[in-house]
Amino acid sequence: MLRDRDKYVIWPAYIDKANSRSSGRIISKKLSIASPGLKEIEAAAKELGINPVVEPDKAYPKSWWEVSGRVLVDKKGAKSEIARQISRKIRQKRG
């Protein structure tokens, strides 16, 4: 799928607690979560109403050998704020 100009790409690495900032995490370690899955990110994005599109066959450029997939979401605010909101939703669901 050709990347839309009105969508942000959310990689699991952006909110993964195991990643360092230099490895791709874009939110604080306190707000990040352990091993986020594509389905969790998709479900959280649906709840936030930002129309997720899952692309499971993509690899994060910094770890190109590892196919982790990505989720495209509507641009409704800053990318880091959307990542924080998705992380909060997943944390709520996990309990």
Work out whether the CA dihedral 55, 87, 30, 10 comes out positive or negative: positive
- Which residue segment(s) compose the domain that 51 sits in? 7-94
C-alpha 54/C-alpha 33 separation (Å) is 19
Q: Judge whether 1 lies within some domain.
A: no
pLDDT, tens digit, for every residue of 11-66?
A: 999 999 999 999 999 999 999 999 999 999 999 999 999 999 999 999 999 989 99
Q: Judge whether 2 lies within some domain.
A: no
Q: Judge whether 31 lies within some domain.
A: yes
Q: Judge whether 74 lies within some domain.
A: yes
Q: Judge whether 18 lies within some domain.
A: yes
pLDDT of residue 3: 59
- The CATH number of the domain holding residue 57 is 3.30.56.30
pLDDT of residue 95: 84
Supply the pTM of this predicted model.
0.91
pLDDT of residue 5: 85
Count of domains forming the chain: 1
pLDDT of residue 71: 96
β-strand partners of 71? 10, 54
Q: Judge whether 40 lies within some domain.
A: yes
Q: Judge whether 45 lies within some domain.
A: yes
pLDDT of residue 29: 95
